[in-house]
Structure 1
Amino acid sequence: MEQPPGYVDSRYPSHVCRLRRALYGLKQAPRAWFHRFSTFLLATGFSCSRADSSLFVFSKGADLIYLLLYVDDIVVTNNNSALLDAFIGKLSKEFSTKDMGSLSYFLGLEAHRTSSGLFLSQAKYAHEILQRAKLVDSKPVSTPMVVARHLSTDGPDFDDPSLYRSLVGALQYLTITRPDLAHAVSAVSQYMHKPSLCHFQAVKRILRYIKGTLRYGLSFTPSSSCNILAYSDADWAGCPDTRRSISSYAIYLGDNLVSWRSKKQPIVSRSSCESEYRALASTAAEVKWLGHLLRDLKVTSSSSLILLCDNQSSIFLATNLVSHNRSKHIELDYHFVRELVASRELRLQYVPTNLQLADILTKSLGRPAFIFFRSKLCVQDSQTLGLRGGITEDQDKDQDQD
């Protein structure tokens, strides 16, 4: 650090400031702030979640307080308003805080309370991406990718790779409330180092799809069940360049989608059974983590975790220890699925392909199948829920004309 003008001592011109407190912009500032804030919470009676270090839980009898911290943005909720008011009073005495009221906007996510539950969207953020790409007036399409299309490294290079990386990076954050975009965004993200013209055309199609679904978001409704239901799927050798498979999962807590993923597997699979088995392993790991998170939230599940797969060979491989010769080449860390099944923590069940909800996260689908699976992922139009917030009047006019 350099001394600001007026603080330089003529007797000691080479002296510098001694840092006594962490300031914004310093590398150690986030760690120092988190330590300061977490120390206060732990002294107040909170406990830090082992599954998520940003989550703090206060539990006393039937009273619960959940606090989620992201740098200096805080979300607090509980089941006792008097207890919450008392805690906010303590928090205000310790730190300089500003109560923003009921949750409406957090880290670019728009939250709306509806008659049926909660609706999360990023309409404003999506519109800003369209403005950056100059596609606000583009013609919408019904799906984010061409049916049965796989991107490859072939084709002429795109002349503005910085624009490509900027748009794809913004789309990655948009998938927080748009699981229907997960596979398409994952596909274009694999060519950030050297995008071609066809890759940019794929990005433009995603943006045209967003133009027609600008108000869409993720809906959550109250559910009497707290059971975890997971769908696991894989597209064997889905990458034409490396012949690696695409694995995906969609995990539900009750009737609500809480976790999803679409990602290329790290190594090549020799069969569709092997690729599905590796997808089962990654899904089981996520399900196991969600189970730990629910325990930290003091939520109990009444039954074992259920994992649905549309490949009977991989189910047999995970439940039958006799099939050693068929799996001796698979790494041992994937076989922890067998232990979960043997201990009855996890139940594997077969689901037909036409009901495999994770299929939308592994490949590009036709319009009827895509719309069907999109609705099952709890992705809805805000207009159907009676909401019109988060979009300007000009955007509303554009949508009405479309």
Structure 2
Amino acid sequence: MDFQFDLEPEDLKDELTAEDRPTSERRELEAPVPPPVPKRVRKKGPGVQSVHMLKQCRTARSLEKQYEKEIPWAVIPPEQHSVFRQAEEKQYDEHIKYQALEPLSLEESARVRECVDKSRILSSRFAYKDKNWSRRKLDSSLPWKLKARIVVSGHRDPDIGLLDTDAPTINRLSVLTIMQLVASRRQSHGWEASAGDITAAFLNGDALERVLYLRQPRSGLASLHPDQLLRITKGIFGLPDSPRKWWRRFRKDMLAVRLSVEGVEYKFVQNALDPCLFQLVPSDNEASEPAAYAGVHVDDILVAGDKKMSEAIRNALSSIFPVDDWEINSFDYIGSHIEVNDSGVFISQEAYAGGRLFQIDIGKGQEDEEPASEEQRIDNQSLIGALSWLGSQSRPDIQCSVSLAQQLQKNPSVADLKFTNQIARRAWDHRDKGIWLRPLKLESLEFLVYHDSAWANAELTGEDGFRLEYEDHVSGVMKNTPFDIKERKAKRANSKVASQFGSLIFLTDGEQYSAGGGIGSILDWKSCSEAIEMGQYVRSFVQTVLRGRLQRVQDLSGSQLKCITDCKSLFDHLHREGIPRIPSDKRLAIDLAALRQYLCEEQANGKPPLFWVPTEFQLADILTKPKCADSWWATVWGAVRLPFISKDATKHR
């Protein structure tokens, strides 16, 4: 059983100072009341919907992290109060302008209170934010970039269990793919990238199809009488179905866009594999290759195309949606900074790392085996969360270490805290690194699929039909982790080995490949064992984006895909003539048979596209073992070597 306080968000704290008390037009403050009595609630069953409000922070760092998302009124400097009040008025005016709220008269409000179920009258509050809060750590001269938002208590929506709330957002692979097109076509076709933010996106969504009313925030709204209610007519912030209503409106308007460039009419169609990626094609020929692209992540729009097409798209979208100023070739998008120049497209999170990374304080007398204090545990979780976001968006080099740290964050020891601090130091040392998409020849792309695995507790034992060589066993053992001094359990209950898998897709072109290596781009990375399937999907995805039509795996088989391993035992086993002896471990037997079948389907010139490289050339090694990434970054930002390419082979390629 848990204890839960059943509170309205605005009842948590009276944040108004004496000089900011409501005027005669604002609601009178209620008399002090005793604190609420904790209510026992069951853990099982549907439970109670969580409240979107400020949490009670227990450490200074968690409080600082919270302030990046929302600032309590009491923390706002007095000299900024009047500006935030103006922001409140601006926010309310936007709701009226876009017809998202409809004020009721006093008489209508009284009738609603008398006749309508109380559950359909939702409370509200103002949420305050300074968008420069974290950036000011690096540059104290930055001004306040403030925002006030009306938030409705959507967790109390009486229809919450009956609503469709799903709404897609553009995925990482889509962003990297269209940015790769920009990098490859910038010099030859003058391509550029631009981004714009839609103002008050939810207020531009579809109309609300149910009856809901809003009670004013405690500080009141503009010139309204404190007893006036407002009818909610659109999906305002806080309602559970607001994102879906906005997405439906955005998709409908995007598909209705028609624009003319050099006498040709164009329209948008959705990509077959990512509904949030829109492809610009001639209106009379949807099957042609796209001339430009537009992607959306909630209210952030990304546009890619040549200068003339991009300008036409921006003008068309600005005429439909209230878009803030467009930024071209240098902008922030989904938490990353994107920079476009003649050397390619660079995606980094240096500003995020500067604002979110820190070192957990560890006392001089604390021994490695001691459990962490509660404050240390909370800070450890916060730091791992920041590192996880970096690893998933632009820093493959720390993803393995973050995965190991996540497995230890529930009850960490002091040694585990030191491991997390080490990850943060390594992330900080390479804070200027990120994904560099290089100019490649799109007509001759090659997808290099690097796959690696590691283990913490495997023994070198015999296996009928397949035996791991001693060198492969040694190179696969994880070292310098907290599991060096503690047992690591397998993730799967029916497995004896605690393993770590990693796959990385490195994109290059035919010229670089034939030369035995060269420049390229990291296009995708994951902690997974299905490397070939991942490579096939990425290949189909990129070709689908390029051609504008769905490219199935079987239609592309036998081309462009090269699988690379540093496990000689696996390489030799899969290259044996005839059917090799079946291992006694049935799961291993099935996995090896599946690998052989996939490679057979991808054969080129009668040979499976599986190649062996020494471990120093294995790019996925960083995804399975925590290590310093100096040499790894030097390789992926320099030139990747493919030692299996011989001069004789390239002549007949």
After TM superposition, the score normalised by the length of structure 2 is 0.47
Q: Which 10-residue stretch deviates more, 104-113 or 296-305?
A: 296-305
Confirm whether residue 97 of structure 1 aligns to residue 323 of structure 2.
Answer: yes
Tell me, yes or no, if structure 1 residue 29 matches structure 2 residue 242. Answer: yes
Q: Distance in 2 between matches of 1:317 and 1:42?
A: 51
Q: How much does 1:38 deviate?
A: 1.7
Supply the RMSD in Å over aligned alpha carbons: 3.3
Partner of 1:373: 632
CA contact (8 A) 2:344 2:439 kept: yes
Q: Is structure 2 residue 413 aligned with structure 1 residue 196? A: yes
Q: Say if 2:378 is the partner of 1:120.
A: no
1:229 aligns with 2:448: yes
Distance (Å, rounded) in 1 between the aligned partners of 2:593 and 2:272: 24
Of residues 10-19 and 35-44 in structure 1, the stretch that sits farther from structure 2 once superposed is: 10-19
Trace 1:293-372 onto structure 2 (pairs within 5 A): 293-298=541-546, 303-316=559-572, 318=574, 321-326=579-584, 328-330=586-588, 336-344=594-602, 347-365=609-627, 370-372=629-631
Residue in structure 2 matched with residue 10 of structure 1 by the alignment: 110
Which range is displaced more, 69-78 or 48-57?
Answer: 48-57
Aligned residue for 1:30, secondary structure, equals helix
Alignment partner of 1:77 is 2:339:
no
The structural deviation recorded for 1:333 is 7.5
Aligned in 2, Cα 1:335/1:288: closer, same or farther, shift over 3 Å? farther
Letter in 2 for 1:216: K
Gaps of 5+ in 1: 136-152, 264-278, 381-402
List alignment gaps of at least 5 residues for structure 2.
1-7, 9-100, 122-210, 213-232, 258-266, 283-287, 362-367, 457-477, 490-496, 509-519, 640-653
Q: What is the 5 A alignment of 1:163-182?
A: 163-175=379-391, 176-182=393-399
Contact 1:22 1:28 in 2 (8 A): yes
The answer to whether the Cα contact below 8 Å between 1:319 and 1:342 also exists between their aligned partners in 2 is no
Identity of aligned residues (%): 25
Q: Which amino acid aligns with 2:425?
A: R
With over 3 angstroms needed to count, the CA separation of the structure-2 counterparts of 1:154 and 1:106, relative to structure 1, is same
Mark the CA change 1:200 to 1:83 in structure 2 (over 3 Å): closer, same or farther.
same
Q: Supply the distance in 2 between the matched residues of 1:355 and 1:11 (Cα, whole angstroms).
A: 75
Q: For the residues of structure 2 that align with 1:43 and 1:316, how far apart are their CA atoms?
A: 56
SS class of match (1:354): helix
Change (3 A) 1:4 1:207: farther
1:156 aligned counterpart, secondary structure: coil
Alignment match of 1:48 (pick from 270, 273, 282): 270
Q: Which residue of 1 aligns with 2:335?
A: 108
State how far apart, in whole Å, the 2-side matches of 1:22 and 1:262 are.
Answer: 37
Equivalent residue runs for 1:239-278 within 5 Å:
240-242=487-489, 243-254=497-508, 255-262=520-527
Letter in 2 for 1:372: S
How big is the shift at 1:24? 2.1
Structure 1 residues 122-141: aligned runs within 5 Å:
122-130=349-357, 133=359
Q: Which amino acid aligns with 1:210?
A: A
Query: CA separation of 1:195/1:3 partners in 2, compared to 1, >3 Å: closer, same or farther?
Result: farther
- Give the residue type in structure 2 aligned to 1:260: W
Length, aligned pairs only = 341
Question: TM-score of the superposition, structure 1-length normalised?
Answer: 0.74
3-state DSSP class of the match of 2:445?
A: coil
- Report the Cα distance in structure 2 between the residues aligned to 1:48 and 1:42, rounded to whole angstroms: 8
| Kept after mapping to 1: 8 A contact 2:289/2:546 | no
Amino acid aligned to 1:352: P
User: C-alpha distance in 2, partners of 1:105/1:30?
Assistant: 21
- The 2-side partners of 1:166 and 1:5 are apart by 44
**Matched letter for residue 563 of structure 2:** L
